[in-house]
């Protein structure tokens, strides 16, 4: 219980700090006044522009943390991560198509749908390659993931070069690829919140089966799990989560890797506590990373994906080193 | 009425026939040792009987019902399966592993968890993580997790092979003793232990059953020497027979 209160408290503090942070800093007092309904221009900017962005960052982080925990559970591999396994790369290809190809559907609908199709397709492809190669283990999955991610990256670059013209600038796609939270309307926030809660609820339904998968294929089967079906369902759910995160936040690397690890230190490896804890940790991490992205080099904004990669890269190297040693 | 039966079981993998037309009928109670040289198909047979891998053809029935018709939860409650090796991907605690074992049933007997902890001397180990347990402790935890729902059938693929002699004896005795009021089918690599603790012995070679008899009869059977490719000397030790290999 203390851990949960601590996590929620940290998230609230992170949101408060991030709401104050920016090219021009607000004081906690300013924030308080704005929350109480102060009608001044500065307060309204805080409420209508900065706070939605901060909350969106927290929700994208929660989705990434949750998605990472599901992927690690499915692949039974602490190095599994949406970005390493190609699903984010697939989502990016889908999103690039949505941004650049003039299709007769509204982009707000097209982007999440194509991102989902891309994420799911890429993950199944990686899983399939590893299965065919007979190596559904850490090394096999990472190699297949790296290969698929590279191909998808090249495909995305090609699409960007081939399809962009004066009407859709490369800049839009590029800034999106590097990761950055879109500032949504409060309407969009509600949609994002509903998505995050639905994803969490859905994933909690198969939390127990993820636990059993962690016992290995044989014991999971012996304990009554239809492993193929669970893996397929969980990959589907994980892809939907990654697609939602990608649709609202672009490509934000390493959060899905780091958040479940931190959460595992706090609440242990069982998925019922791990899934919500990973979401909370992810929310805290991305909220703070987004604040750094906005406030570090004013008036410019650093792409969020760069901030998380700079912080997350060394974390990944550390994990890899520790794993190789054992 | 048999609890578990195999009918014309065939298992093929990658062009090789691992189990070749095996039929077995196993009663609702009894201790059965499965023996045979390396590559005889012991593990493959047990994995099929336990519902872990589907056979290529043939049927396995539990209580008269085809194993395929049982859903995962029913099968997991009916048949406890102990694998040859077990390494969880996450560093679970003893209590968490028991919880996962108990999750197979919605109606866990009250005190079943406490009873298991007592029976397998796990009291006080609840919060220890898997990576910190000794081989003997691991074997006891795994047994407790599998047996906590008290399955009518236990299928064990010699989970004690890597243990020292005292712990090995302990595990084999526990598995055999379960045959008093349940069905216990165990792959046993040590022939002495198989003949000493089990009532019935099934001998496999090249995917076929070459002998299936009470232990005290099969121990004198010349097919034993033939199957293992050695000459056994039968020696009287106390009031029982033991096998000795001439080198």
What value, to the nearest 5°, has the Cα angle with vertex B242 and ends B241 and B247?
140
For B61, the 3-state DSSP assignment is strand
pLDDT in tens, A10-26: 999 999 999 888 878 88
pLDDT band at B162 (very low <50, low <70, confident <90, very high): confident
Cβ within 8 Å, pair A270-B92: yes
pLDDT band at B247 (very low <50, low <70, confident <90, very high): low
Above 70 in pLDDT, residue B87? yes
| Chain B, nearest residue to A79 by Cα | B89
- Average pLDDT value for residue range A112-122: 84
Chain A residues close to B147, C-beta within 8 Å: none
Tokens 């090789």, located at residue: B16
- Average pLDDT value for residue range B145-160: 90
Cβ within 8 Å, pair B90-A214: yes
As a whole number of angstroms, the distance between CA B212 and CA B203 comes to 6
- Average pLDDT value for residue range B150-174: 87
Tokens 């492993």, located at residue: A227
Lowest-confidence range among A101-110, A251-260, B9-18? A101-110
pLDDT band at A236 (very low <50, low <70, confident <90, very high): confident
> In chain B, which among 103-142 make CB contacts under 8 A with chain A?
103-104
Chain A residues close to B90, C-beta within 8 Å: 76, 214, 264, 269
**Phi, psi values for residue A231, rounded to 5°:** -60, -45
Above 90 in pLDDT, residue A165? no
pLDDT band at A215 (very low <50, low <70, confident <90, very high): very high
What sign for the dihedral angle of Cα A157, A159, A163, A164?
A: negative
Closest Cα of chain A to B225: distance in Å?
33
pLDDT score at A138: 58
pLDDT score at A137: 62
Token pair of A48 as six digits: 């209508």
As a whole number of angstroms, the distance between CA B69 and CA A99 comes to 49
Smallest Cβ–Cβ distance between A215 and the set B79, B80, B88 belongs to B88
pLDDT in tens, A280-295: 999 999 999 999 988 8
Which residue range is the domain that position A80 belongs to?
2-325
Instruction: Please answer whether residues A56 and A286 qualify as being in contact, where contact means their C-beta atoms are separated by less than 8 angstroms.
Output: no
Q: Which residues of A touch B (CB under 8 A)?
A: 76-77, 208, 211-212, 214-216, 218-219, 221-226, 264, 268-270
pLDDT score at B25: 92
Above 80 in pLDDT, residue B244? yes
As a whole number of angstroms, the distance between CA A296 and CA A210 comes to 39
pLDDT score at B208: 94
Instruction: Please answer whether residues A167 and A104 qualify as being in contact, where contact means their C-beta atoms are separated by less than 8 angstroms.
Output: no
- Average pLDDT value for residue range B47-65: 92
Closest C-alpha among A239, A283, A235, A241 to residue A258? A283
Chain B residues close to A269, C-beta within 8 Å: 90-92, 96
> End-to-end alpha-carbon separation of chain B, Å?
44
H, E, C per residue of chain A: CHHHHHHHHHHHHHHHHHHHCCCCCCCHHHHHHHHCCCCCHHHHHHHHHHHHHHHHHHHHHHHHHHHHHHHHHHHCCCCCCCCCCCHHHHHHHHHHHHHHCCCCCCHHHHHHHHHHHHHHHHHHHHHHHHHHCCCCCHHHHHHHHHHHHHHHHHHHHHHHHHHCCCCCCHHHHHHHHCCCCCCCCHHHHHHHHHHHHHHHHHHHHCHHHHHHHCCCHHHHHHCCCCHHHHHHHHHHHHHHHHHHHHHHHCCCCCHHHHHHHHHHHHHCCCHHHHHHHHHHHHHHHHHHHHHHHHHCCCCCCCCHHHHHHHHHHHHHHHHHHHHHHC
Closest Cα of chain B to A109: distance in Å?
38
Contacts 24+ apart (CB under 8 A), A317-321: A319/A78, A319/A79, A319/A257, A319/A261, A320/A79
Above 60 in pLDDT, residue A192? yes
Instruction: Please answer whether residues B197 and B220 qualify as being in contact, where contact means their C-beta atoms are separated by less than 8 angstroms.
Output: no
- Average pLDDT value for residue range A251-267: 88
H, E, C per residue of B167-218: HHHHHHHHHHHHHHCCEEEEECCCHHHHHHHCCEEEEEECCEEEEEEEHHHH
Tokens 């650049």, located at residue: A100
Q: Specify the DSSP element, H or E, that contains B13.
A: strand B4-13
Beta bridge partners of B79: B153
pLDDT band at A44 (very low <50, low <70, confident <90, very high): confident
Smallest Cβ–Cβ distance between A223 and the set B76, B89, B91 belongs to B76
Give the Å distances, CA to CA, from B227 to A163, A299, B43, B187, B243.
71, 82, 17, 16, 14
pLDDT score at A15: 93
pLDDT score at A188: 80
Token pair of A52 as six digits: 């939605």
pLDDT score at B135: 87
Q: What ipTM goes with this model?
A: 0.90
pLDDT band at A319 (very low <50, low <70, confident <90, very high): confident
As a whole number of angstroms, the distance between CA B62 and CA A324 comes to 44
What sign for the dihedral angle of Cα A255, A256, A258, A264?
A: positive
Above 60 in pLDDT, residue A267? yes
Percent of chain A with pLDDT over 90: 27
Lowest-confidence range among A168-172, A242-246, B73-77? A168-172
pLDDT score at A176: 73
Instruction: Give chain A's radius of gyration (CA, Å).
Output: 20
What CATH number matches the domain at B4-245, 3.40.50.300, 3.40.50.11540, 3.30.300.30, 2.140.10.10? 3.40.50.300
pLDDT score at A326: 61
Residue B236: CB atoms within 10 Å:
8
What sign for the dihedral angle of Cα A229, A235, A236, A238?
A: positive
pLDDT score at A322: 76
Domain ranges for chain B, please list them. Answer: 4-245
pLDDT in tens, B112-122: 888 888 888 88
pLDDT score at B179: 92
Chain B residues close to A69, C-beta within 8 Å: none
Quote the mean pLDDT of chain A: 84
pLDDT in tens, B96-108: 999 999 988 887 7
Percent of chain B with pLDDT over 90: 60
Chain A residues close to B88, C-beta within 8 Å: 214-216, 219
Cβ within 8 Å, pair A269-B75: no
**Phi, psi values for residue A317, rounded to 5°:** -60, -40
Please tell me if residue B51 touches chain A, with a CB cutoff of 8 Å.
yes
Token pair of A70 as six digits: 């599901």
As a whole number of angstroms, the distance between CA B222 and CA B38 comes to 19
pLDDT in tens, B182-219: 999 999 988 999 999 999 999 999 999 999 999 999 99
Domain total in chain A: 1
Chain B residues close to A215, C-beta within 8 Å: 86, 88-89, 100
| CA B170 remoteness from chain centre | 14
Above 70 in pLDDT, residue B138? yes
- Average pLDDT value for residue range B216-245: 90
Instruction: Give chain B's radius of gyration (CA, Å).
Output: 18
- Average pLDDT value for residue range B1-17: 87
Smallest Cβ–Cβ distance between A223 and the set B47, B92, B104 belongs to B104
Lowest-confidence range among A41-50, A258-267, B210-219? A41-50
Residue A47 region, left (φ>0) first, then alpha (ψ -120 to 50), else beta?
alpha
Smallest Cβ–Cβ distance between B83 and the set A214, A218, A264 belongs to A218
Chain B residues close to A208, C-beta within 8 Å: 100, 103
Cβ within 8 Å, pair A214-B88: yes
pLDDT band at A168 (very low <50, low <70, confident <90, very high): low
As a whole number of angstroms, the distance between CA B132 and CA B114 comes to 22
Token pair of B7 as six digits: 């009918």
């Amino acid at each position: 219980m203390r851990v949960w209160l601590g996590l929620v408290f940290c998230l609230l503090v992170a949101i408060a700090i991030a709401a104050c942070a920016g090219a021009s800093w607000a004081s906690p007092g300013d924030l308080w006044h704005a929350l109480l309904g102060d009608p001044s221009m500065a307060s309204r900017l805080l409420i209508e522009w900065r706070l939605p962005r901060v909350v969106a960052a927290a929700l994208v982080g929660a989705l990434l943390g949750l998605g990472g925990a599901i992927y690690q559970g499915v692949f039974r591999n602490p190095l599994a991560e949406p970005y390493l396994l190609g699903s984010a790369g697939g989502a990016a290809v889908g999103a690039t198509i949505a941004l650049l190809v003039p299709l007769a559907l509204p982009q707000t609908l097209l982007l999440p749908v194509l991102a989902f199709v891309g994420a799911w397709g890429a993950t199944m492809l990686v899983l399939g390659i590893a299965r065919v190669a007979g190596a559904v283990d850490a090394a096999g999955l990472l190699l297949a993931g790296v290969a698929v991610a590279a191909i998808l990256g090249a495909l995305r670059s090609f699409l960007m070069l081939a399809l962009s013209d004066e009407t859709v600038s490369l800049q839009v796609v590029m800034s999106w690829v590097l990761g950055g939270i879109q500032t949504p309307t409060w309407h969009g926030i509600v949609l994002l919140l509903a998505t995050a809660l639905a994803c969490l609820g859905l994933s909690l339904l198969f939390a127990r089966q993820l636990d059993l998968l962690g016992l290995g294929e044989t014991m999971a089967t012996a304990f009554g799990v239809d492993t193929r079906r669970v893996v397929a369902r969980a990959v589907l759910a994980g892809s939907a989560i990654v697609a939602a995160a990608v649709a609202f936040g672009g490509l934000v690397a390493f959060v899905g890797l780091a958040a479940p690890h931190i959460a595992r230190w706090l609440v242990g490896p069982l998925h019922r506590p791990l899934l919500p804890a990973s979401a909370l940790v992810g929310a805290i991490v991305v909220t703070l990373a987004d604040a750094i992205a906005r406030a570090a080099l004013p008036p410019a904004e650093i792409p969020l994906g760069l901030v998380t990669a700079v912080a997350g890269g060394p974390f990944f190297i550390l994990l890899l080193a520790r794993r190789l040693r054992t | 009425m048999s609890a578990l039966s195999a009918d014309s079981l065939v298992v093929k993998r990658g062009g090789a026939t691992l189990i070749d037309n095996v039929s077995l009928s196993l009663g609702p109670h009894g201790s059965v040792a499965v023996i045979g040289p390396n590559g005889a198909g012991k593990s493959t047979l047990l994995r099929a009987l336990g519902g872990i891998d589907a056979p290529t053809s043939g049927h396995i029935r539990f209580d008269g019902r085809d194993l395929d018709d049982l859903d995962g939860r029913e099968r997991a409650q009916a048949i406890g399966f102990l694998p040859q090796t077990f390494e969880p991907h996450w560093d679970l605690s003893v209590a968490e592993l028991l919880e996962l074992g108990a999750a197979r049933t919605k109606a866990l007997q009250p005190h079943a968890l406490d009873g298991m902890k007592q029976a397998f001397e796990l009291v006080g180990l609840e919060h220890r993580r898997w990576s910190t347990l000794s081989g003997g402790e691991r074997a006891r935890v795994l047994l407790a997790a599998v047996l906590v729902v008290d399955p009518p059938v236990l299928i064990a693929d010699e989970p004690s092979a890597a243990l020292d002699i005292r712990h090995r004896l302990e595990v084999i005795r526990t598995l055999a003793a379960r045959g008093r009021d349940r069905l216990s089918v165990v792959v046993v690599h040590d022939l002495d232990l198989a003949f000493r603790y089990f009532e019935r012995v099934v001998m496999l070679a090249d995917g076929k059953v070459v002998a299936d008899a009470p232990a005290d009869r099969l121990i004198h059977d010349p097919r034993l020497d033939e199957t293992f490719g050695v000459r056994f000397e039968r020696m009287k030790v106390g009031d029982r027979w033991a096998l000795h290999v001439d080198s």
